[in-house]
Structure 1
Amino acid sequence: MLYMIAAFVFLVLGLVFLLKPDLVWHITEEWKSYSSGDPSNLYLLSVRIGGVFLLIIAVAAAIIPFLPD
């Protein structure tokens, strides 16, 4: 059961990171910036790559309970 909860959390986070990296920037980084500009392309790319890794972890967490001991 714990693996499924973790898979769901990683799935949601991964999708947000992948599809809405600017939202992640607004929540986590905008308040640290002196200028109110947009996030850099490198930041957006790195957040999207992180989202892909989170989706991979979500799939792994969903599969683990079904693997034989």
Structure 2
Amino acid sequence: MLTIQAQSNIPTDFGMFTVYAFSEHEEDWNPHLVWVAENTDFSKTVNVRFHSECITGEIFHSKKCECGQQL
């Protein structure tokens, strides 16, 4: 069973999002994150993108990595 550990509203250049941190165990301090746009209509099919963390590409903008560009 999944447990939501935290949630927060985050304003971005793309609009307002609610971010949920969840895991299978409450003691797991490396949760998965879900970003949900405020106008998401869950009565329709919702597109989902899985993205792996890449510190060198997303934080340091390494020229050897295109992870940040994929977002």
TM-score range relative to shorter protein: under 0.3
| Greater per-residue strand proportion | 2
TM-score (norm 1): 0.23
| Greater per-residue helix proportion | 1
TM-score (norm 2): 0.23
Larger radius of gyration: 1
